[in-house]
Structure 1
Amino acid sequence: MDVLERVGRIGAVDVELDHEPVPVGQVVTGSPATGSRALGSFDGHEVGVWEMTPGAMSDVEADEVFVVVSGRATVEFVETGAWLLLGPGDVVQLHAGDRTIWTVTETLRKVYLG
């Protein structure tokens, strides 16, 4: 039984996360750290909370939809040069294989379905 099934409600801003430094090969600037916690599943997809502290990192995305609950960042799509400005309440869809650069200016927390 997952956390969501057991309690039925979780405050996404209150979920405790253990942060780890971003691997050196992914750091673009600063000393960002990330933390995540799976909360359960929905229709075969994982639901969880993810957070990144200020700094910039490169990543390769998985298929995911998320909602920003706090913080500010930009996500640049390496292949196209397109970018998104993220803040609380934004809903975003990412696609598997997209190479991105996340630049966080205020610790960003999101709830994801992936």
Structure 2
Amino acid sequence: MLTVTNEAEKSCKSLKEPAWYLEVLGVLPSYQGKSLGSKMINDCLIPFISKSRGGVLALFTNTDLNRSFYRKNGFEEFSESRIRRFNYEICNWGFKIKVLFKTYN
């Protein structure tokens, strides 16, 4: 799995600017559908990056369900690739969102 992860991260390296990188965001199946992932992104990650001078937040995913989740949360798809390992092929999509610098009181 680590080899697949390393290969998938190459899409984030194609960005022309420095970026924050989200490696994992997971919600237990019994808690999915309750907006916890969206709240984590919008109430924790985005404000933290914004307070830290902003920048691009990038990630990759390999499921269609996650693709629609990140689109719903304002991310833009910037890459698509296929990773082949043994007898399997995994689709990989890179997403990014621009986070503006903002001071919070």
Tell me the TM-score normalized by structure 1: 0.29
Higher share in strand = 1
Tell me the TM-score normalized by structure 2: 0.31
Higher share in helix = 2
Instruction: Find the structure with the greater CA-based Rg.
Output: 2
